Amino acid sequence: MSSHASVASLNASAPSEPPCLNTAVNLVSQTPLWSTLQQRAAGISTIKELFRADPQRFRRFSVSACGMLLDYSKQRIDAPVLSELLALARQQQLEARRDAMLAGAAINSTENRAVLHSVLRLPKGTRFLLDGADIAADVHAVLARMRSFSDAVRDGRWVGHTGKAIRTIVNIGIGGSDLGPQMACSALAPWAQPGLTLHFVSNVDGRHLADTLQQADPETTLFVVASKTFTTMETLTNAGTARAWMLGRGCPQASICQHFVALSTNVDAAQQFGIAPENVFPFWNWAGGRYSLWSAIGLSIMLYVGADRFEEMLAGAHAMDLHFAQAPLEQNLPVLMALVGVWNINFLGQQALSIAPYHQRLHRLPAYLQQLEMESNGKSVTRAGQRVDYATAPILFGEAGTNGQHAYFQCLHQGAAITPTDFIAVIEDDSGLPQHNRALLANCFAQSKAMAHGKDLDQVRAELPDAPAWLLPHRVFEGNRPSSTLLLDALTPRSLGGLIALYEHKVFVQSVIWDINAFDQWGVELGKSLALQLISLDPDAVNEDYDSSTRGLLQILQSK
Ligand code: F6P
């Protein structure tokens, strides 16, 4: 069997989505396993005690795969808890639901769509049938078009309206059409094309675009308009203004096609906007916005680092797909990360998650994961529409280490609420400054040790024998604050692909435990439609449904 056969071969059997659980009774929180885990949580030892009781704890609670190690030994978890969490995953039909997703079942039930970001990274030549069509072939046809366009831009064959090569790329998009490409380009900066500057404009706040255009030359700038739906107000506003800027600065209408390309599932809308058909790179509704950086939405990444590097990123993600599909749950990185999260959120009552990448080039990872986790699992009804009575997505935030240490880590160490942390560290130093890398890694390991073990009153007293009693508690660290460490051999296109896919699958596993749909985002719709109603900012144009606060704010604007 070839290495990729098992993801695609699931497609052949195409199991349908298992039926939703009975709406009346079967919230996961009402199952005996949930109660057992609640009882376990009440009696679980502290992290310090767990280490003391088991000298082999690191070996027992760490797993390596796909060029990375997950150390979850500093989580407040023991063997019985782990085995019950795995039983919970099986009770929630994790394996069947995973296979259904990978096989192309329409698991995004509220939109009746398959969820197939894994197909975007299948190796060339692998077939994958959806509704009778080989969508893997479609994926590779678009990748080939992206490659030839990107090569032409990078080697100067694609020129602007005055015949000059492109020097500046402006990606216009928001949410999944911005965060993933932006995070990946920052992570892969060492592979960037010299002489090519890349900007990301997302906010409808005109300052974002205006500040960017100030740095751009209309003769040598390419706008990449990225929008899955091509209806997003922010993106269309920014793209329209960018087009007017080009036309107002000497670009003839007939040459505008040399400066604009679009990435969208809505090819008609992109063409209606005025983008030449040959400049539209399509993708498909079965790729969710926040799972789309592997598709045409990744064109800015490809332009920045080249098609070969982009394909290495896809290969790394595919390796993680295989691991997710094949590894036993006990050894499965996304499954273990997800279960640890469920344990912390639902049983230890720790609702937040801090992401601390100890690698400056991963500084956009927390923002990317914020959308991935919170837009995917920020839901409060089950697939069958029943209100849940348990917490779902974590409140996720983060900052690159060591910067975060000097900002919010105080709260992680001594705050009244406990916030678990994912530390992400990279062994290889490519800065050329090895002493910095040693300091970076030392800080990373020191933080997780401090969080886990803390410093008790006796230790503080021994250190400060003459201090008054009231001062001592200020110096105490309770410890018992859980963290995991992901240790990557190196940050490369391949390992980045694996890292992102790891979190994608983790999010899916948690959605299975919570029995929610991770792939829709109805929660952002209401605010969008209200913004359209308010667009005139005229208080007389809004009806009685509007509260006195909204009316009052509009009236103040009108009076200015
Ligand atoms: O915020 C809602 C959302 O629909 C995200 O899911 C999506 O990534 C973003 O808006 C941008 O959407 P589009 O790519 O369609 O412009």
202 within 8 A of 234, measured Cβ to Cβ = yes
Could you give the 3-state DSSP secondary structure of residue 352? strand
Q: For residue 375, indicate whether it is catalytic.
A: yes
- Closest by CA to 358, choosing from 250, 255, 436, is 436
Structure-token match 């990435």, residue found: 263
- The contacts of residue 88 (CB under 8 Å, 6+ apart) are 28, 31, 33, 34, 37, 339, 342, 513
CA 39–ligand 1 middle distance (angstroms): 41
539 within 8 A of 559, measured Cβ to Cβ = no
Which one of the listed residues 219, 375, 399, 504 is annotated catalytic? 375
333 within 8 A of 68, measured Cβ to Cβ = yes
Task: Out of 376, 524, 528, 529, give the residue to mutate to test ligand 1, the one with the largest number of ligand atoms within 8 Å of its CB.
Answer: 524
CA 184–ligand 1 middle distance (angstroms): 18
Region of residue 162 (left: phi > 0; alpha: psi -120 to 50; beta: else): alpha
Query: What would the mean pLDDT of 371-376 be, rounded to a whole number?
Result: 98
237 within 8 A of 204, measured Cβ to Cβ = yes
295 within 8 A of 227, measured Cβ to Cβ = no
pLDDT, tens digit, 9 for 90 and up, residues 233-265:
999 999 999 999 999 999 999 999 999 999 999
ipTM > 0.90, yes or no = yes
427 within 8 A of 489, measured Cβ to Cβ = yes
pLDDT, tens digit, 9 for 90 and up, residues 488-504:
999 999 999 999 999 99
Ligand 1 atom having least distance to the Cα of 234: 16
Task: Out of 172, 232, 520, 522, give the residue to mutate to test ligand 1, the one with the largest number of ligand atoms within 8 Å of its CB.
Answer: 232
Q: 111-125, 222-236, 482-496, 525-539 — which is least confidently predicted?
A: 525-539
Sequence letter at residue 73: S
pLDDT, tens digit, 9 for 90 and up, residues 296-331:
999 999 999 999 999 999 999 999 999 999 999 999
pLDDT, tens digit, 9 for 90 and up, residues 207-238:
999 999 999 999 999 999 999 999 999 999 99
Q: What is the pLDDT of residue 15?
A: 42
- Assessment of whether the complete model's pTM goes beyond 0.90: yes
pLDDT, tens digit, 9 for 90 and up, residues 155-213:
999 999 999 999 999 999 999 999 999 999 999 999 999 999 999 999 999 999 999 99
The proportion of the chain whose per-residue pLDDT surpasses 90, expressed as a percent, equals: 89
